[in-house]
Amino acid sequence: MKGKEKLLLRRGSGAVLILIGLLCLLGVIRPSQMLATVVYPSIFWVHMYPGSEDSGNPTMLTPGQTVTLTVEVVHYDANLDVDVGNPFYWTANVEIKKLDGTLIDTVNLPEKSFSVGKDVQGHICNTVTFTGSWTVPSTEGVTYSFTWKVDIYDDNEEYLDTAEKTTYGKTPLAEPDGYFEINGKQASETSTHIVFNPTLSITFTPTKNPDKITAVKVEVRKDGSLTSTVSLTKSGGKYTGSYTLPSAGTYSLTGKIEWTDGTPIPKMNVLVTWGKEEDGGIPVNQIIGLVCMAAGAFLVAKK
């Protein structure tokens, strides 16, 4: 390279350095920020709500309810002497989507609080918590992803980095509900019914979400073996049917609701006894007959 070319290159480089220095002095560019690296502690994310990290086991949310979205992170870990920086200028938001990627909402978390000397999994830490309110959509059976974003700034309000983490929440399906009756008597899950006629009248009355019910069935078992399955017929808002016990003994009746959005829901599990002998070997009907005869004889003989 000739001397003249070297001179021009040196002068050009000098001019560039002078310009960079001037821009640094004026604060137009900040090389220190361009070279800055954020060092995170081993435990950064402390608490989130909704907080489940498993999409298959999400945090349950009530449709239509207003909840407080919360994210707490560590900005200083005394055990490791790791300092992310002063969180005064930090900001946070959460991006809420359906699992198919449909964006539902982006919620800023404007409320900020600080904790000093907090025990976080055995580490003494200083933390910052961001909160904001959000109303859960009224749609049932939807799983949402919550992508938490914490924007980290230095004391000069210069952006450094964004930390992200995803959790999951879900609105449960509203199940149908109702109650069974055996011969007009409400049947609970623990009730026992003694009947004097082998033909049973069975009724199911829906009390919640009746439009989701697709079928109502009663399984009849004796000595643990399935004897029959009775399908009730819908009539006037109720489900009715009958079943005749084939022989004397004790039977287990399990009533279930089949519905549109899930597995059958058991609503009745009762014992029904017909014609079973007592310990003395005398059938119930005979005992009643003897009692009636004795009472009648007493009244006839009484003067």
Give the model confidence (pLDDT) of 40-71 as tens digits: 999 999 999 999 999 999 999 999 999 999 99
**What does the pLDDT read at residue 194?**
87
**HEC letters along the chain:** CCHHHHHHHHHHHHHHHHHHHHHHHCCCCCHHHHCCCCCCCCCCEEEEECCECCCCCCEECCCCCEEEEEEEEEEEECCCCEECCCHHHCEEEEEEEECCCCEEEEEECCEEEEEEEEEECCEEEEEEEEEEEEECCCCCCEEEEEEEEEEEECCCCCEEEEEEEEEEEEECCCCCEEEEEECCEEECCCCEEEECCCEEEEEEEEEECHHHEEEEEEEEEECCEEEEEEECEEECCEEEEEEECCCCEEEEEEEEEEECCEEEEEEEEEEEEECCECCCCCEHHHHHHHHHHHHHHHHHHCC
Is the pLDDT confidence value at 160 over 90?
A: yes
Q: Residue 3 pLDDT more than 80?
A: no
pTM above 0.85, yes or no: no
Instruction: Check residue 32 and give its pLDDT.
Output: 44
> pLDDT tens digit string along 76-130?
999 999 999 999 999 999 999 999 999 999 999 999 999 999 999 999 999 999 9
Topology agreement, domain 35-171 and domain 177-276: yes
Decide yes or no: CATH 2.60.40.10 for domain 177-276: yes
pLDDT at residue 267 is higher than 50: yes
What is the residue-averaged pLDDT of the chain? 86
* CATH code, 35-171: 2.60.40.10
Q: What are the structural domain ranges in the chain? A: 35-171, 177-276
**pLDDT bucket at 34, cuts 50 / 70 / 90:** very low
Q: What is the pLDDT of residues 224-234, one digit of tens each?
A: 999 999 999 99
> What's the confidence (pLDDT) of residue 73?
98
Greater model confidence, 10 or 132: 132
Low-confidence winner among 30-39, 43-52, 169-178, 183-192 (lowest mean pLDDT): 30-39
